[in-house]
Amino acid sequence: MLRPINISDRPFGLLPVDPTIQFEAGQIGGLTQIGNDVFGTLADGVQIQPFGIIDDTKTEAFSQPVIDEVVHIPTVITWDGYGCPVSSTDVMGMLKETNIIESSFQANIDLILDTKHGVITVPAGSEVNYEFPDGTPGFEVVASYHFKIADFPGEDTTAGSQLLTLHFARGIFSTDQFDTTAQYIVNDNLFCGVDGKFTTKENGVVVGMVIVPPSSLVGTVMFLWL
């Protein structure tokens, strides 16, 4: 998803679309040469330099981010050799969503993720970090990730024209196409990740600046495109 908020009078250009890639609106596009022709493609921050923000979609399934989802899992404890309370057995919990994109997943503790069903397993021997109101020990898992939206097929907005729309002028935008494994603070520099998503992890040139970070209530990042 891409939402232009404040952009110039001539905000975009049209280029023949690279037929080999898939993308969603809000990812970062670049230029590639196939034969003697120049195509719009997905940027990776280094090999394919960022040129503009993609405002088209060509995907088999849409994705959406979840930020700082909290899951509480009860357990039965034992004590390790250092006197710390740890889980005596593997325990499982459920994320709100399924079809998790594994590379986008990040949690505050080590666990095993079932990407298809959204099941998380905290292994036996993990140190507990939460206590329920009734005194039951357990785990508080805080997770961020992207998931593929089930029963909602993707689309190809370039199918008719075979042209890719790229916003390349300076402006303010918001998008849900950002790296959920990174941290975002107001005024942070933004870069193009290897997957064409916005990130605060340094990778190539600076492409923007965070205005409003993503949160559990607002699953988008607002930014200034430079």
Q: Which domains does the chain have, with CATH numbers?
A: 2-60+154-225 (2.40.300), 63-149 (no CATH)
Cα–Cα dist 142/216, whole Å: 11
Average pLDDT of the chain? 95
Nearest one of 217, 90, 67, 72 to 141, comparing CA atoms: 72
User: What is the pTM assigned to this prediction?
Assistant: 0.90
Cα–Cα dist 26/223, whole Å: 11
Cα–Cα dist 30/166, whole Å: 9
How confident is the model at residue 135, as a pLDDT?
96
> What is the maximum span of the chain, computed from C-alpha positions, in angstroms?
69
Cα–Cα dist 122/142, whole Å: 13
Structure letter (DSSP) for residue 178? B
- The whole-number average pLDDT for the span 18-38 is 95
Whether 8 shows a pLDDT value over 90: the answer reads no
How confident is the model at residue 11, as a pLDDT?
63
How confident is the model at residue 9, as a pLDDT?
64
